[in-house]
């Protein structure tokens, strides 16, 4: 019986359909692909595609597409860079950008590119450190040991080391990246073309966006040498063709307990959705009638709208009783199997119950945690900078392993970059978002809450926000540098109002953070680990781990789908974009595209749908064919793919990409970006 | 065994605590009150308080407080009247209003007052008509017969007859009201005082609002004679004292099935909450920097904020696993009992299943229904008027029983009043809300949806909204009157762009309405009736029916509560209001209140908390003591009372009222409203 169960377990651990799975490179199921498609990636193929893959530190994917540092990603992944480089006089976001020569490429102050060089299993080391610990002790020790592991690995500023969680804590791996911090913009289309269709078309298909951008990594004042890159395919893909996506899916919760999913559905997602919806309403109205406000707001507005739609899709997936019924069944099955083994039974005793109890504690704590510590009450870049300065002054003198995670040695290069970058911070938008968030905080925690009273005093949120934003000097990077280098003495001596506020509220923020981390996060993590280990014991590692913004490879085919009795074809064309043009935002094609109508055959493919299993974070991922050659650029998923956070639905879940042929055509005939076209053509392998 | 179950059933049907229950006047549990408090209302007491109670047709409660037509209600119940009477030159909402003499009282164009004269049980007649019918046939017949019953009863324009649903369709009663359509404003405080504490304090306590207004009903150019009125109490109430609330709770779902509650939690409430949150963000920003926009928006904004907070409270109640666990238990118990009786078993066969199936059909239909038919896609008063004109032209020529419900004879007086009233419709706000809703519709249904394309064509929502609002002549009541009287020929000949749009989309709106009504509403109603009848068979009518905006009486005591270890006292004072004043909206007292500091002892009671079981619709309800004399004016509930939609929680659920002593004090010493004070004092019984 036992054997039968285990055999069944292994069978069930295979994905329901071939396309499901976000596989780590060291766990890719080549054999299964071979069985289904007659092609198996070799180790050399895997190494080559892995080293051609790039992570953008802010949360996107990308790829090297030439030996001289050329990087392909989505426009929406580097939108804030274009925004930073723009000005009221030179609206790069609206106009687009192309550097005719390498020397014209413009540095993106916030962008950092990472290339995954090595993966090492450090599970045993971390488990030894936390053995027998629970609650705060477990959390503190795990953090200390993680910081230690990362610090030992990070041997210089061009190395980034992250301990990553796999299988929900069943495994910990150390990921070592080569970091490129001099990243420059080579090409960006007009924003209205990158996001053609705007919010209405977002997460929909048929789609007609040209969400493409090219960057270049530089080293020592020269384009960097990048011998590992993905060549451009000679031929476009066909319907039904096998394709691979290599990228960094940000996060899935496919192995979460039912209690955690219900908590998302009933508490966490509704909270966040309402916050975002109101923010969106505010931002849209804020931009009305002022071209300058429109300019400074369109990028963050687009981000908010994207998040809102994505989370709404997630909520809808969880609100579908069929999904939770399936999860309940899987959980019951796991519990039954665990109970049948005395060792597993002992190792998981109370685990599900502790998860539920932690969530019950989190329920009343969540609004407080989000408002005070997690930023919802202080939506201001200037405040964020002020808090970093205040906290860095407290944290940096401590031993590395005792610091808050954001201030450990491994994180310092990113933190310094964030604090010292010279990018504009539009004050009017700062006042608007800070006012919004202070109002939300007062409503959420109540006007009589002591923390709210400490922040607001007898001020109205709008007045306080304006006083803080106009009074602070922190928009000046030199001022921030002096405070960062001056350490605790400089920070304590400063009378800057934003910094004074950050110092005043920091102690209370830390209290709620600690409460959250010890009572909720640590309990969920420790029990998540116990359950993950039990799951590994029952089902083995033949499955794939939940996404954690680590590099993954998956496979699928070019394919449309059926929805409400309507067939959605897998390709859209340039001709379709021209037909969709109404002349009104967000369906207004830029002049460049209208002018190209005479030069490009209308049947030229533009965007396409495939069955690859992706999620947020995969934006910018290269799509390659069997030869490992670029055939597309992932930039979205369809609406059903949003529920992919919890489960992959083969019949509906689709990845949305810009077609590789469409990219070359656009670069050449719409933008005349000959230098890049030649660079990409030169990379093509005959 | 059977007997034991039934005995248990009767026991369980008694409310968990004495204060729970929204009782109809013909089912009031006088004996239970006597047992608990040593006082039982007599039939004369009940008749007198019932006839002193008033319903405001828009969705509020009120009371007669003098023999010459003086009506007390909340400021927030007549806010839109004050708004209608205001102008940029004369900002009545901000300044407040007091008519020194009766002749100075100002007509409220939208307000209608109803007094409940008779209640008749018509269950048998309706049940006979619908016997054996299901789906569309059931729905159509029920509507026809309802329209017939109402038409027979409505003998003139001063009579209003509504067939009301009680016990979720277990009972139907015909309610006959005397209607007063000439309603005039006598007193309103400043809006900032009526809503002192604004959104942060809304649904919170301690509270310091003076949410009070006085109207007067007129007849034939004279104050109406209202011999049935509630005299003002000589003494204020004390902590622990027994009090009664007589009013019109709008709706509860305490008897809903678990499937219906889960649908609310997972689908309906999230949909509405997100719509409202985004609208709120838009409206708040819309008012920034423009006093005129602030003026025209503050009232609808406040309504949106109130709805948002109320629905959020409901959602939080449903997201509490304890509440649903209790509902599941009750449902399981009912099912068990029903199954034990062959007759009940037969009469309910498939009922729960059909409810679940209807909700599964509703799930994908809801956004379409809400956007197209229920108004979320067309948030514009001008569009609403246009659609009424277009539909009235179609419906009025039909026999009464075949019309859409809003156009039946019984509804015509209200409809005519709505169509012909002369109240301003601010065009700038119309453009903003119509733009907002057209955008939301396009996002929700998709840019490729044929209905969306028919509405928008190749226009952007903002451009279309502006063209419609500036192009229409429907803001002129004379134009509307001509169209209403001109009937179908006039409507079809009109080139008014708003009316053209309404005609163009009406057929598709009707399709989705019919789908909703036949496939969802009718199924829920019919099975709700079957279950309600089974519940009555098991538990009897000793319980109270769910609220349906019908007159109810309940009892409670003046009492605070404990929250997070903090004791909330039942009274607040004038002194507390002065202490809460920060000088910044929404905590800015008007000058009148600051000036009164020298005249009013600070310990004078202002607002109070009681254990009465109320819900939205009870706003404006009189609170009376054992003598049936006015001691307060209900205007809100605390946060836990929002979950009262689904269950009354005795330890936490509180009604919030303005104290009777505080009302007289405010009228006399803050506003110098001597005429009203004398009228109220004259009504006091020695």
The CA distance from B465 to the nearest CA of chain A, in Å, is 14
| Closest CA in chain A for residue B581 | A458
pLDDT in tens, A381-393: 999 999 999 999 9
User: What is the model's pLDDT at position A177?
Assistant: 96
User: What is the model's pLDDT at position B542?
Assistant: 72
| Rounded-to-integer distance, Cα A591 and Cα A614, Å | 33
User: What is the model's pLDDT at position A109?
Assistant: 84
pLDDT in tens, B115-141: 999 999 999 999 999 999 988 898 889
A619 three-class SS: coil
Q: How many helices (H) and strands (E) does chain B have?
A: 28, 20
pLDDT in tens, B139-186: 889 989 999 999 999 998 899 999 999 988 889 999 999 999 999 999
Residue B268: Cβ within 10 Å count: 18
| Rounded-to-integer distance, Cα A248 and Cα B72, Å | 63
| Rounded-to-integer distance, Cα A311 and Cα A524, Å | 22
**DSSP 8-state class, residue B409:** G
The answer, yes or no, to whether ipTM is higher than 0.85 is yes
pLDDT band at B6 (very low <50, low <70, confident <90, very high): very low
Q: What average pLDDT does this structure show over A369-392?
A: 98
| Rounded-to-integer distance, Cα B670 and Cα B595, Å | 8
| Closest CA in chain B for residue A289 | B286
User: Of A171, A148, A165, A185, which is closest to residue A56 (Cα–Cα)?
Assistant: A185
Contact A284 B282 (CB under 8 A): yes
Q: Helix/strand/coil (H, E, C) string of B89-154?
A: CCCHHHHCEECCCHHHCEECCCCCEEEEEEEEECHHHHHHHHCCCCHHHHHHHHHHHHHHHHHHHC
What is chain B's mean pLDDT, rounded? 93
Q: What are phi and psi of A491, to 5 degrees?
A: -65, -40
Place of tokens 């709805």: B307
User: What is the model's pLDDT at position B159?
Assistant: 93
pLDDT band at B18 (very low <50, low <70, confident <90, very high): low
Question: Could you tell me where the DSSP H helices lie in B581-673?
Answer: 591-595, 639-642, 660-665
Buried-state track A83-93, b at ≥16 Cβ within 10 A, e below 16 = bbbbeeeebbb
pLDDT band at A238 (very low <50, low <70, confident <90, very high): very high
pLDDT in tens, A625-679: 999 999 999 999 999 999 999 999 999 999 999 999 999 999 999 999 999 999 9
Contact B381, B425 (CB under 8 A): yes
Residue B405 confidence (pLDDT) above 50: yes
The CA distance from A652 to the nearest CA of chain B, in Å, is 16
What is chain A's mean pLDDT, rounded? 93
The CA distance from A443 to the nearest CA of chain B, in Å, is 5
Place of tokens 């109404």: A582
Which residues of chain B are within 8 Å of residue A315 when distances are taken between CB atoms?
270
User: What is the model's pLDDT at position A686?
Assistant: 60
**DSSP 8-state class, residue A24:** -
Contact A315, A273 (CB under 8 A): yes
Buried-state track B330-369, b at ≥16 Cβ within 10 A, e below 16 = bbeebbebbeebeebeeebeebbebbbbbbeebbeebbbb
Contact A274 B279 (CB under 8 A): no
Contact B446 A279 (CB under 8 A): no
Q: What average pLDDT does this structure show over A505-525?
A: 96
User: Of B105, B56, B98, B63, which is closest to residue B78 (Cα–Cα)?
Assistant: B56
Which residues of chain A are within 8 Å of residue B584 when distances are taken between CB atoms?
458-460, 463
Mutate to test the interface with A, among B192, B278, B569 (most CBs of A within 10 A): B278
The CA distance from B89 to the nearest CA of chain A, in Å, is 26
Structural element, H or E, at residue B208: none
| Closest CA in chain B for residue A269 | B270
User: What is the model's pLDDT at position A199?
Assistant: 94
| Rounded-to-integer distance, Cα B667 and Cα B678, Å | 10
| Rounded-to-integer distance, Cα B439 and Cα B432, Å | 11
Quick one: how far is CA A500 from the chain centroid? 32
Q: pTM of the prediction? A: 0.92
Residue B7 confidence (pLDDT) above 60: no
Contact B277 A277 (CB under 8 A): yes
**For B278, which of A278, A318, A432 is closest by C-beta distance?**
A278
User: What is the model's pLDDT at position A14?
Assistant: 41
Q: What are phi and psi of A289, to 5 degrees?
A: 75, 5
Contact B284 A282 (CB under 8 A): yes
User: What is the model's pLDDT at position B295?
Assistant: 87
Residue B251: Cβ within 10 Å count: 12
One DSSP character per residue, B339-396 reads: HTSHHHHHHTTTHHHHHHHHHHHHHHHHHHIIIIISSTT---HHHHHHHHHHHHHHHT
Residue A3 confidence (pLDDT) above 60: no
User: What is the model's pLDDT at position B14?
Assistant: 41
Share of chain B above pLDDT 90, in %: 85
pLDDT in tens, B73-98: 999 999 989 988 887 788 899 999 99
pLDDT in tens, B472-490: 999 999 999 999 999 999 9
| Rounded-to-integer distance, Cα B264 and Cα B251, Å | 14
Contact B415, B501 (CB under 8 A): no
pLDDT in tens, B218-270: 999 999 999 999 999 999 999 999 999 999 999 999 999 999 999 999 999 99
Half-sphere exposure of B444 (CA within 13 A, CB side): 22
Contact B273 A274 (CB under 8 A): yes
pLDDT band at A8 (very low <50, low <70, confident <90, very high): very low
| Rounded-to-integer distance, Cα A189 and Cα A183, Å | 18
Tokens of B151: 């038409």
Tokens of A383: 């405040």
Residue A7 confidence (pLDDT) above 50: no
Place of tokens 């119940």: B77
Contact A582 B458 (CB under 8 A): yes
Contact B584 A286 (CB under 8 A): no
Contact B286 A283 (CB under 8 A): no
Place of tokens 């609100």: A319
Q: Pick the residue with more confidence: B635 or B408?
A: B635
């Amino acid at each position: 019986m036992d054997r039968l169960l285990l055999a069944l377990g292994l069978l069930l651990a295979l994905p329901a359909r071939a396309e499901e799975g976000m596989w780590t490179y060291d766990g890719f199921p080549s054999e299964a692909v071979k069985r289904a498609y007659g092609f198996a990636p070799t180790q050399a193929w895997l190494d080559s595609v892995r080293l051609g893959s790039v992570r953008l530190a802010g949360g996107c994917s990308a790829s090297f597409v030439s030996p001289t540092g050329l990087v392909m990603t989505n426009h929406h992944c580097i939108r804030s860079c274009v925004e930073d480089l723009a000005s009221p006089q030179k609206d790069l976001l609206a106009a687009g950008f192309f550097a005719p020569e390498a020397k014209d490429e413009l540095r993106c102050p916030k962008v950092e590119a990472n290339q995954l060089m090595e993966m090492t299993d450090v599970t045993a080391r971390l488990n030894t450190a936390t053995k027998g610990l629970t609650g705060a002790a477990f959390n503190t020790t795990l953090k200390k040991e993680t910081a230690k592991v990362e610090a030992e690995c990070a041997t210089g500023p061009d190395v980034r080391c992250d301990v990553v969680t796999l299988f929900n804590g069943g495994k910990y791996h150390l990921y070592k990246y080569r970091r490129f911090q001099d990243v420059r913009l080579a090409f960006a289309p007009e924003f209205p073309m990158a996001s053609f269709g705007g919010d209405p078309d977002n997460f929909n298909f048929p789609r007609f966006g040209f969400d493409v951008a090219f960057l270049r990594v530089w080293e020592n004042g020269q384009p960097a040498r990048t011998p590992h890159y993905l060549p451009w395919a000679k031929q476009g893909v066909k319907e039904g063709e096998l394709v691979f996506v290599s990228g960094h899916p940000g996060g899935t919760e496919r192995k979460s307990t039912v209690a955690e999913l219900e908590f998302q559905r009933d508490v966490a997602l509704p909270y966040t959705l309402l916050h975002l919806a109101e923010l969106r309403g505010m931002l849209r109205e804020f931009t009305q009638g002022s071209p300058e406000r429109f300019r400074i707001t369109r990028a963050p507005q687009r981000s908010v709208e994207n998040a809102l739609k994505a989370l709404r899709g997630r909520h809808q997936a969880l609100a579908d009783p069929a999904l939770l019924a399936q999860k309940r069944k899987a959980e019951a099955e796991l519990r039954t199997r665990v109970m049948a083994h005395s060792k597993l039974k002992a190792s998981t005793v109370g685990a599900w119950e502790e998860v539920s109890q932690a969530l019950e504690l989190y329920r009343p704590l969540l609004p407080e945690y989000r408002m005070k510590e997690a930023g919802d009450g202080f939506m201001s870049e200037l405040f964020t900078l002020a808090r970093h300065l205040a906290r860095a002054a407290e944290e940096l003198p401590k031993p590395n392993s005792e610091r808050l995670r954001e201030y450990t040695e491994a994180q310092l290069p990113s933190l310094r970059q964030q604090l010292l970058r010279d990018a504009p911070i539009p004050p009017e938008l700062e006042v608007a978002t800070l006012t919004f968030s202070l109002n939300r905080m007062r409503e959420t925690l109540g006007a009589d809450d002591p923390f709210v009273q400490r922040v607001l005093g007898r001020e109205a949120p709008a007045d306080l926000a304006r006083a803080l934003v106009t009074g602070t000097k922190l928009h000046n990077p030199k001022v921030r540098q002096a405070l960062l280098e001056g350490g605790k003495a400089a920070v304590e001596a400063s009378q800057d109002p934003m910094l004074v506020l950050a110092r005043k509220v920091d102690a209370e923020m830390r209290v709620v953070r600690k409460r959250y981390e010890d009572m909720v996060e640590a309990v969920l993590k420790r029990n998540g680990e116990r359950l993950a280990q039990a799951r590994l014991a029952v089902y083995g590692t033949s499955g794939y781990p939940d996404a954690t913004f680590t590099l993954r490879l998956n496979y699928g085919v070019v394919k449309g789908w059926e929805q409400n009795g309507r067939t959605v074809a897998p390709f859209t064309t340039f001709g379709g974009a021209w037909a969709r043009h109404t002349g009104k935002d967000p369906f207004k094609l830029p002049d460049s595209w209208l002018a190209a109508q005479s030069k490009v055959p209308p049947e030229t493919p533009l965007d396409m749908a495939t069955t690859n299993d992706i999620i947020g974070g995969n934006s910018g991922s290269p799509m390659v064919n069997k030869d490992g050659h670029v055939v597309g650029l992932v930039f979205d998923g369809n609406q059903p793919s949003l529920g992919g956070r919890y489960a992959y639905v083969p019949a509906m879940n689709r990845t949305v990409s810009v077609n590789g042929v469409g990219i070359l055509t656009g670069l050449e005939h719409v933008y005349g970006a000959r230098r890049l076209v030649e660079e990409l053509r030169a990379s093509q392998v005959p």
